[in-house]
Amino acid sequence: MALVTAKELLLSRPPGQAVGAFNVHNMEDVQGVVWAAEELGTPVIVMASESALKYAGVPYIAQLVRTAAEAVSIPIALQLDHGSSFEIAKACIECGFTSVMIDGSRLPFAENAALTRQVVELAHAHGVSVEAELGRVGGKEDDLEVAAQDAFLTNPDEAVEFVRQTGIDVLAPAIGTVHGLYKGEPKLDFARLREIARRVDVPLVLHGGSDLPVDALQEAIRCGIAKVNIGTDLKYAVTNGVRAYLKENPEEYEPRKVFAAGREAAKQLVMEKLRILSREAV
């Protein structure tokens, strides 16, 4: 199928379920994610961060994901993850991304809203949906370390105002998750999430979806999360898959065999996560 927007996938998701969004870096990641989704018949969002795009190139990722999506019969969206500027959002839109995230969460409210509004205007003119972040998600976010104490959670009043001022399609609130692995037990503010979900009329995203217990993921979905972002778990799966293959086959030099092990590990991880996210959360 042709690529669809993340907004479309989120608004048409079955009740009680969330859509999985996975960060990719290369062809094997893209195939692993899309093939897993196809095997389960579950739509999926493929995401690339700015550093992944710096590594692979925006047109490469755009073409890889478009090609993978066109070869399957389930809808796939392609999204820029944590875009830090209007320019990177524009480059992705011009290359055929169907969704962009503009992350102005480091800026004061008014500047974040103004940058986000600028991206929304361009994106909507091209039929592209926009996600934005308000509040700060802790941990390692792309190349930037956000000190845990510096992370602050989203104020529900501000969330309402932010959505109204910007016209975004999807909101990423900060509710206590961190990017990367958790140092202690994750402490998610579900009451805050419920309140934001009750008052805001756009789908909500859980950033930092790796390394969370199944119960926490499902409670987040029950409280209103529509999209779950998973990056770190996929990185570990791929690299551990390659490492295990090379440990068993230390003489192997055929790249196809080595990287196919990473691709298969990616596929298995994505299938496991999609099953969790689409299990009826009761």
Tell me which of 79, 210, 218, 278 binds ligand 13P, using CB under 6 A: 210
* Catalytic annotation present for 201: no
Pick the binder of ligand 13P from 83, 208, 224, 262 (CB under 6 A).
Answer: 208
Question: Taking CB under 6 A as the rule, does residue 179 contact ligand 13P?
Answer: yes
59-82: string of b/e by CB count within 10 Å (b at 16+)? ebbbebbbebbeebebbbbbbbbb
Amino acid present at 69: A
Examine residue 207 and tell whether it contacts ligand 13P (CB under 6 A): yes
Sign, Cα dihedral of 93, 99, 103, 108: positive
What is the closest distance, in whole angstroms, from the C-beta atom of residue 234 to ligand 13P in the complex? 8
Taking the complex as a whole, the smallest distance from the CB of residue 207 to ligand 13P amounts, in Å, to 3
Is 231 an interacting residue with respect to ligand 13P (CB under 6 A)?
yes
Please identify which residue in 105, 116, 154, 229 interacts with ligand 13P, judged by CB under 6 A.
229
Q: Footprint of ligand 13P on residues 15-74 (CB under 6 A)?
A: 23
Out of 158, 161, 180, 236, the only residue in the binding site for ligand 13P (CB under 6 A) is 180
Q: Which is nearer to ligand 13P, 22 or 245 (CB)?
A: 22
Catalytic residue, from 29, 81, 169, 211: name it: 81
φ, ψ of residue 49 in degrees (nearest 5): -80, 170
Contact predicate 234/22, CB 8 Å: yes
CB atoms within 10 A of CB 158: 16
| Contacts with 215 (C-beta within 8 Å, 6 or more apart), sequence order | none
Contact status: 154 vs ligand 13P (CB under 6 A): no
3-state helix, strand, coil in the chain (%, to 5): 50, 20, 30
Catalytic residue ranges: 81
Q: Which residues bind ligand 13P (CB under 6 A)?
A: 23, 81-82, 179-180, 207-210, 229-233
